[in-house]
Structure 1
Amino acid sequence: MIVENSVHEVKKRENSLRIIKEIIQYEGRNQLYDLTGLSGGFLLSKEDLKLLETYVGPAIFEEQLEKIGKEHLGGDKVLGLNRTSSGILATIMALVRPESYVVHYLPKLPSHPSIPRSCSLVGANYLEFEDLENFFIPDDTSLIVITGSTMDHQVIEVEDFKKIIKMAKSHSESYSGIEIPVLVDDASGARLRPVIFNQPSAIELGADLVVTSTDKLMDGPRGGLMSGREDLINEIKSKAHQFGLEAQPPLVAGMVRGLENFNPENLLESLEKKQDLIKSLNSQLGGFEETPTGVMISPEVLSFEIENQGIKTDLSDSDISFTWAMVLLKNYGILTIPAVGMPGASPTLRFDLASKDAKILNLDELKKIILNSFKELLNLVDNPEKCREMIFY
């Protein structure tokens, strides 16, 4: 195995960032195509920049974030954080008792690592489920977490969402009357679920708290936006400030402008494009699946497709995916999550057609790049040392 731990994942990411820098320096930004769906950015004006001071910035932009954040997510009060993971950590630190349970339901495993890791930090027990038939809530439960859309854009069914909310409320009434808060990790789901799947917001479905990523499927910076019950937000905000998890003025300003600029039509336009791309790809390679806004191929399926080519490899499924991601970046300027993701990010190769850069990349050209880069991958996978070099150097 090449990428064995979080340190290796960081090293891989550092190599990817070096390659990105070289592409921009020597070829220009227009030769880099960010198809992660996480491109984000800061849509700040010159007037905004003048206000990004330690205390002036919050005075101006936090009030704006409160207004537009509640329009986007619902809820009584809003909190800006430096990442969605920071919001999850602050929530667990504020609301979860040591040795109590955090129960997590998501449409498909694995969960985002920030949830079990945060539980470990506070000494809480963690349970996760992807099957409602097995889902249960232990008596001593402090928090229930629902993932609206997974790292690979598997989206929860509305009826499953409602059942969990009902179970949480029923359990609260029967177990000493202590209410169990429900937090929804809606990192990309806060936009995917309402826009693509016509689902109500998490708050409308009865959640107490919801957190989203302001760089996922929108033109905002990498940050976390939380909304929900005012009493819970107040507790979480206090904990966030104690540990430096809150969003700083530039981030808050960027969130405001990103939310103002959010246009659901950008997501809807990707629907027709993905149908064309997946049909074209699977006619020659196979194994690709639809995502709400693009196409993807999992490490397991990718490994199977390589076996179908008659090639044997000692690489793990994830290492194969990482290697292909680096081939795409280094040789074609195609940026995907396995190349630059944070430790614990999904190794699934996903091509997001709602990304800004996808609009300037012809679908036929993208198909050609994917197929040609796969052929290059086939020439690498039987040589672990060459793959290691591709990933790390």
Structure 2
Amino acid sequence: MLVNSLGDEVNKRDASLKIIKSILQSDGRKGFYDLTGLAGGFPILAEDKALLETYAGPAVFEEAIQTLGKIHLGGEKILALNRTSSGILAAILALVNEGDEIVHFLPKSPAHPSIPRSAELVGASYREFEDITQFEVSDNTSLVFITGSTMDHEIITLKDFLRVIEISKSHEIPVFVDDASGARLRTVVYKQPRAMDMGADITITSTDKLMDGPRGGLMSGKADIMIKVKTKAHQFGLEAQPPLVAGMVRALENLSPERILEAFITKHDLYNGLVNDFKGIKETPTGVMLKSGELKLELDNRGIVTDYSHDDLAYLFAMLLLRNHGIITIPAVGMPGTSSTIRIDLASNDAERITIENIIDAFNETLEQLIKIIDDTKACKSVLYY
């Protein structure tokens, strides 16, 4: 094993950031391509800068975030948070007591780690389901989660979504929809309604996923629940500060579905160019993905034997993509505990600067580079940890 702990994942991420800094110093911003779909941005206007103060900012941007947030998510009240994970934690702190149960339905396990970790923090038990025929709640369930789109962009079906709402409502249990990227993918690509319009009590999205906002969380919900969540958020410093809220406001103003829809079409060209050499490659709504287990199978098919874990191989592949081709994917830069799936998102801003052919060549060359070093543990660690 090359990556044995969350600490190792932190060190790997630190190494990735050093590589990105080195590229910036030598080639500038044009030297790398962030294809994670999480690049976000900070599109504030020049006149906003003078208002990014502790009290002036909220006075100006609070009304705007309420208006634009309701347009995007629906609901009665909006809350901006410093991360989606912060909103999930604030909601669990507000709505779940020690000894309670949290039940989670998602189209494909595992869940984002922020949900079970927050459950553990308050002393609640946690169960998750991906088969709607097995989904159930208990007398002890105080909160139900639905994930609209997983970390690997598996999308919940409308039928399953409505069934979880129905079961939860019959037991008077509030429903929280984690719609980090789903608030765009579900609605734009799959034409599903907004979570609040389908009966959710609270929902949250990430303002840097498939949109150009800063990394933050935008939450909407019923007014009575949102007051409780907002109180907890402020108690623990989880709320977004004025600069972040300003960036969210401008990103929502600029939000357009066209880039997502274009990526939905062009992904086929990328998939068709990779599938002959990467049998396990899969299409996502806006790109392609290669799961860590599928990468291991690619090596097996070439007669390459290794004891490294599936995650180790994915991390190596992602770091080589970054080091040698300037392509950023989530396994290289993701926070500890996030998916090790290598995903190319063509809805990313930088996808406009790199051709499909360049990406295909980079994948093929990276696999060959991985094969060359696979038996050299020292070389592999050097790739991971700079």
Range class of TM-score, shorter chain = over 0.9
Match of 1:290 in 2: 283
CA distance in 2, matches of 1:289, 1:380: 26
Deviation by residue 1:330-358 (Cα, 9 ceiling, x = unmatched): 11100000000001110000000010100
CA distance in 2, matches of 1:233, 1:285: 46
Match of 1:98 in 2: 98
Match of 1:210 among 203, 207, 211: 203
Matched, 1:316 2:309: yes
Write the letter of the residue equivalent to 1:386.
Answer: A
**What is the TM-score when the length of structure 1 is the normalising length?**
0.97
Q: How far 1:28 sits from its partner (Å)?
A: 1.3
Matches within 5 A, 1:1-393: 1-172=1-172, 180-393=173-386
Structure 1: gaps of 5 or more residues: 173-179
Q: How far 1:32 sits from its partner (Å)?
A: 0.6
Q: How far 1:272 sits from its partner (Å)?
A: 2.0
Write the letter of the residue equivalent to 1:61.
Answer: F
Write the letter of the residue equivalent to 2:54.
Answer: T
CA distance in 1, matches of 2:96, 2:373: 47
Q: How far 1:169 sits from its partner (Å)?
A: 1.1
Q: How far 1:71 sits from its partner (Å)?
A: 0.3
Q: How far 1:5 sits from its partner (Å)?
A: 1.6
RMSD: 0.8
Write the letter of the residue equivalent to 2:154.
Answer: Q
Q: How far 1:80 sits from its partner (Å)?
A: 0.2
Deviation by residue 1:12-43 (Cα, 9 ceiling, x = unmatched): 11110010000011111111100000000100
Deviation by residue 1:162-192 (Cα, 9 ceiling, x = unmatched): 00100011122xxxxxxx1100000000000
CA distance in 2, matches of 1:383, 1:136: 48
Task: Give the secondary structure class of the aligned counterpart of 1:136.
Answer: coil
Task: Give the secondary structure class of the aligned counterpart of 2:196.
Answer: coil
Match of 1:175 in 2: none
Write the letter of the residue equivalent to 2:235.
Answer: Q
8 A Cα contact 1:315 1:384, kept in partner: no
Q: How far 1:140 sits from its partner (Å)?
A: 1.1
CA distance in 1, matches of 2:267, 2:336: 28
Deviation by residue 1:191-234 (Cα, 9 ceiling, x = unmatched): 00000101011011110000000000000000000001001011
Could you list the structure 1 runs, at least 4 aligned residues long, displaced by more than 6 angstroms after superposition. none
Match of 1:177 in 2: none
Q: How far 1:45 sits from its partner (Å)?
A: 1.4
Deviation by residue 1:244-295 (Cα, 9 ceiling, x = unmatched): 0000011000000111111100100012211011011112332110000000
Task: Give the secondary structure class of the aligned counterpart of 1:118.
Answer: helix
Task: Give the secondary structure class of the aligned counterpart of 1:231.
Answer: helix
Task: Give the secondary structure class of the aligned counterpart of 2:265.
Answer: helix
8 A Cα contact 1:314 1:382, kept in partner: no
CA distance in 1, matches of 2:164, 2:64: 33
Task: Give the secondary structure class of the aligned counterpart of 1:379.
Answer: helix
Q: How many aligned positions are there?
A: 386
8 A Cα contact 1:338 1:347, kept in partner: yes
Write the letter of the residue equivalent to 2:10.
Answer: V
CA distance in 2, matches of 1:378, 1:49: 50
Task: Give the secondary structure class of the aligned counterpart of 1:203.
Answer: helix
Task: Give the secondary structure class of the aligned counterpart of 1:111.
Answer: coil
Structure 2: gaps of 5 or more residues: none
Deviation by residue 1:108-129 (Cα, 9 ceiling, x = unmatched): 0010000000001100011111
Q: How far 1:382 sits from its partner (Å)?
A: 2.3
**What is the TM-score when the length of structure 2 is the normalising length?**
0.99
Q: How far 1:385 sits from its partner (Å)?
A: 2.3
